[in-house]
Amino acid sequence: WGALALAGAQVFFVLATRQTTAANAIFLQYTAPVYVAFFGIWFLYEKVTRADWATMAVVFLGLGLFLGDNLSVQAGWGMVNALLAGVSFAWYILLLRKQKDASPMEAALLGNLITALIGLPFAFTVHPTGLEWAGLLFLGIFQLGIPFLLMAIAIKQLTAVETVLIQTLEPILNPIWVFLVVGEAPSAWALVGGALVIGAVTVRALVAAQATRAERVVAT
């Protein structure tokens, strides 16, 4: 089920980017922390703290500022698929965390394999160049493959909410790579929004680490 949720998250996100703006797809996919928080209470029995809710609020505000004018109220299947991508990604995190004491790595591997099989027929409708194949190979390994394996390792130590909140750094870091490689500078509002998300997630991580250290001290 974890593998199917991962495949759904990727397929629905690709469909959403074809049917609505990329900003809409990103913003709606990263509503996942809310679903993780609500479903995790009864599915994982993990408590959602006030710090978690506060972090989510700041993250959504930051994402809104970051994406700015690219957000729209465009309706249709693009918005629906983006929401389904968020729900699917949330359940992937929940199911990964559910098997933290077993081996969550298999869900990541199988999920990407299912996604590849779904996308394979469409590969025969185009004729990528050698450079484009190299780009696909690079993205498959370093942008999706390795990160999902690292997430499967990290989920053993983090709560589901902590894991998905850290994932919201992904769209924020995107313009940094664009600036370093292409030289395209982000807008002032994008910088403010990005700073809010990075700050909120960092503070939440530091608070969680401090609480963990305190619990270990008490236990010893």
pLDDT higher than 70, residue 74: no
Q: What is the pLDDT of residue 212?
A: 64
Q: What is the pLDDT of residue 69?
A: 62
Sign of the CA dihedral running 199, 201, 205, 211: positive
CA dist 42 and 70 (Å) reads 36
pLDDT higher than 90, residue 4: yes
Return the ∠ at Cα 162 (arms to 193 and 168), rounded to 5°: 30
Please report, rounded to a whole number, the percentage of residues in the chain having pLDDT higher than 70. Answer: 89
What does pTM read for this prediction?
A: 0.80
Q: What is the pLDDT of residue 10?
A: 92
Residues 6+ apart with CB under 8 A from 32: 86, 87, 89, 90, 93, 164, 167
> Residue 17's pLDDT band (boundaries 50, 70, 90)?
confident
Q: What is the mean pLDDT of residues 26-48?
A: 82
Instruction: Specify the long-range contacts of residues 42-50, CB closer than 8 Å, at least 24 apart.
Output: 43/94, 43/98, 44/94, 44/97, 44/98, 44/159, 44/160, 46/97, 46/159, 46/160, 46/161, 48/161
Helices 146-154 and 160-167 meet at what angle, rounded to 10? 150
Q: What is the pLDDT of residue 218?
A: 66
When mean pLDDT is compared over 50-64, 176-190, 199-213, the highest value belongs to 50-64
pLDDT higher than 80, residue 76: no
Q: What is the pLDDT of residue 192?
A: 80
pLDDT higher than 70, residue 214: no
Sequence letter at residue 217: V
Q: What is the mean pLDDT of residues 44-61?
A: 84
Q: What is the mean pLDDT of residues 169-180?
A: 75
pLDDT higher than 80, residue 205: no
- DSSP assigned state of 220: -
Please report, rounded to a whole number, the percentage of residues in the chain having pLDDT higher than 90. Answer: 14
pLDDT tens for 113-160 read 999 999 888 888 888 888 988 988 898 888 888 888 888 888 888 888
